[in-house]
Structure 1
Amino acid sequence: MEDRNSFAEGMFAEGSTLAGSERKEITRRRHSLPRAIVAPLHYEPNYEYPLLVWLHGTTGDHENELLHVMPQIDLRNYVAIAPRGVEVGADDKAWGWPQTPEGIAEAEARVFELIETAAKRFCIARRKIFLVGHSTGGTMALRLAWRWPEVFAGVVSLGGPVPCGERPLARYREARRLPILLVVAGESPTYSPASAACDLKRLHMAGMNAVLRQYPGSSELSPLVLADVNRWLMELVLTL
């Protein structure tokens, strides 16, 4: 695996059959994709901020979900970014995070290119980059964090099941150190507390550093949940 600083430059492996012009066109298209960026209030250019990478849910959601959740998380202590997901609807108005080899590779590329964009615009603490995802975005957040445990300092899945298929724990030994927060809503129609408990059991059997928190209601994006996510993240920030 490449190190985090060379990832953006090494997106295409040596010997790729893509010509240089094709690689440049793919990179140009990704740079032109919609994304959301939230700068901290009273930004201090000499202070290294934690970076929160948000992966939106699927049903009618997109990168602007970040603009609704950050006021309930924290507007002062993070730089926050959100890429748009991959098109999953025939009408080009639905975006998500398909768990296919192509979908995983595209999600990885979008996340890392946006991280580098944020690092060029803001003062980022490279050891304090967190992935937070909602619904299918939570599943993808877990997958990407386990693929790159040297890059991310923690990962939160809000109502997103633990990924399966495509070897999500191929880097099991390195990924065991990564703090994981699973969140489930007690009345969730898509990810039940029983399913979350099974996921937690599987993670603990694998020796993963995971906790599960259940909240009342049917939404994982309530003010109570997001305030607790902030507290969990800040506890990590203060120990790094």
Structure 2
Amino acid sequence: MGKFNLSHRIVLPPLARQRSYNNVPQPHAILYYSQRTTKGGLLIAEATGISDTAQGLNFTPGIWTKEQVEAWKPIVDAVHAKGGIFFCQIIHVGRASNSGFDGVEIHGAHGFLIDQFMKDQVNDRADQYGGSLENRCRFALEIVEAVANEIGADKNEKLGEKSESPDSLLPMRKAFKGTFLVAGGYGREDGNQAIAENRADLVAYGRLFLANPDLPRRFELNAPLNKYNRETFYTPDPVIGYTDYPFLED
């Protein structure tokens, strides 16, 4: 993946966990991310706000203050200590990155600010950012260019969102010449098929990785998986549903 040598194709995608009190990453995130780190594995941090007006949920992390940047550093260090590659997903929800990370992913989904510009049912602008598809995509492309100019194009990640039909991503796959990552509810076999059919280079597993901190190992051994508990996805508890899922050897 660009200058990064990945050891496998399994990615931890950005998952909102809502455990960053006062929008400051907490020490318990060190264990959470390091549990899910493998040597040469790619992790993408949860959506991280770029300003105090960019947040949409409680207890989500930011990266716009010195305190937040300093709080991220030991988390990034823990991932690096185990040989992992760590990207920060930056976000503004709509209606600053730091070299403590290896790169950034720009959040462009879920009806948030960037996505709003691209949707013809929402964007009713009459200027160069509205109307045609080219104009509606202009804001997103300018953000990508600005971030790439700031941190380098090799540190900027693009994500293929989940779609109803795997084939619907093929035109984007053919048009985009870089590393292509797909996200969604893929199981092990679905992910293997996506790679075998050249529909993606990497596959992100959200709920499965959340509940199985050693997911790459379990996939390698075709071992049983822990079941995830939706009721603890977004609780502010620093342990329950966060760092208490067992490893295979447990």
Q: Tell me the TM-score normalized by structure 1.
A: 0.34
Higher Rg of the two aligned structures: 2
Q: Which has the higher strand share?
A: 1
